[in-house]
């Protein structure tokens, strides 16, 4: 099993719908991240959390919210999805006490019609 | 602002050829990673290399932190090396958050 698991892996939805992407990890890492990837571009940071009580906005947080339910779980919500949120979403973890190396889930491909 | 520049943006090779990918960064870094994104979209960790040189099989990487660049070398390329290679940098001034370059798309032809 993967150390960082994302669900769903693929989702097609309609404009205005609420969508939640979930991430769970078995690495025991403190830090968790949500990134977005658009075609031809690198990953951009949406939100990050350094521990359960710490939530921070990244560079493109508008239109998104997150919840850190436990050390191992970090979910990303789109309250009212719009077509330009169509993208590949990645969850990642890193260890606070370590060297900051990022480990990624397999990605969640979201299409908003 | 924080910048990570990768070059070349695209690279096409014949199987068996060697290549060098470059990552330039604009400030002092805490860490630097290289990733390979395969055609299925998965991100695979290649190297964690804030400084120095590392090798893993046909791949090696060198980071010269004082000159603010990192190089990824791929020798004897194979078709399975195709995909996008990303450099991600965590700057000292932005601890805990990594900034990605736009990647180099590598196509290895049989």
Average per-residue pLDDT for chain B: 93
Nearest CA-CA distance, residue A90 and chain B, Å: 9
Query: Could you tell me which chain A residue has the CA closest to the CA of B86?
Result: A42
Cα gap B103→A108, rounded to integer Å: 20
Asked if B97 reaches chain A (Cβ–Cβ under 8 Å), the answer is: yes
Average pLDDT in the B29-36 region? 93
Residues of B in Cβ contact (< 8 Å) with A40: 102
Using CA atoms, how far residue A100 sits from A58, A64, A71, A82, A109, in Å, is: 17, 25, 17, 33, 26
> A10-13 and A108-112 as β-strands: parallel, antiparallel, unpaired?
parallel
| % pLDDT > 90, chain B | 83
Q: Average pLDDT by consecutive 10-residue portion of chain A (113 residues)? A: 90 97 95 94 93 93 96 96 97 80 95 97
Query: Could you tell me which chain A residue has the CA closest to the CA of B9?
Result: A40
Residue A103 pLDDT: 94
pLDDT at B104 over 70: yes
Inter-chain touch A100–B98, beta carbons under 8 Å: yes
Residue B62 pLDDT: 98
Inter-chain touch A40–B101, beta carbons under 8 Å: no
Residue A97 pLDDT: 62
Residue B101 pLDDT: 94
Nearest to B98 among A50, A102, A106 (CB): A102
Could you tell me the pLDDT band of residue B28, with boundaries at 50, 70 and 90? confident
User: Any residues with CB less than 8 A from the CB of A62 and at least 6 apart, and which?
Assistant: none
Inter-chain touch A42–B101, beta carbons under 8 Å: yes
Dihedral (Cα; A104, A88, B87, B68), 10-degree rounding: -120
pLDDT at B2 over 90: no
């Amino acid at each position: 099993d993967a150390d960082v698991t994302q669900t769903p892996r693929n989702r097609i939805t309609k404009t205005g719908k609420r969508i939640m992407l979930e991430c769970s990890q078995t690495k025991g890492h403190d830090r968790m991240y949500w990134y977005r990837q658009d075609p031809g571009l690198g990953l951009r940071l949406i939100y990050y959390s350094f521990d359960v009580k710490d939530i921070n906005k990244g560079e493109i947080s508008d239109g998104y919210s997150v919840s850190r339910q436990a050390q191992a779980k970090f979910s990303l919500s789109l309250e009212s999805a719009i077509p330009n949120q169509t993208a590949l979403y990645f969850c990642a973890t890193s260890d606070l006490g370590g060297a900051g190396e990022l480990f990624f889930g397999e990605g969640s491909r979201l299409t908003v019609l | 602002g924080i910048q990570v520049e990768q070059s070349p943006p695209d690279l096409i090779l014949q199987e068996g050829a060697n290549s060098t990918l470059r990552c330039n960064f604009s400030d002092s870094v805490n860490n630097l990673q290289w990733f390979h994104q395969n055609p299925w979209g998965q991100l695979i960790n290649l190297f964690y290399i804030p400084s120095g040189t590392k090798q893993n099989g046909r791949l090696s990487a060198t980071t010269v932190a004082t000159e603010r660049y990192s190089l990824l070398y791929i020798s004897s390329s194979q078709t399975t090396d195709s995909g996008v290679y990303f450099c991600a940098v965590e700057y000292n001034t932005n601890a805990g958050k990594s900034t990605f370059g736009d990647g180099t798309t590598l196509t290895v032809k049989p």
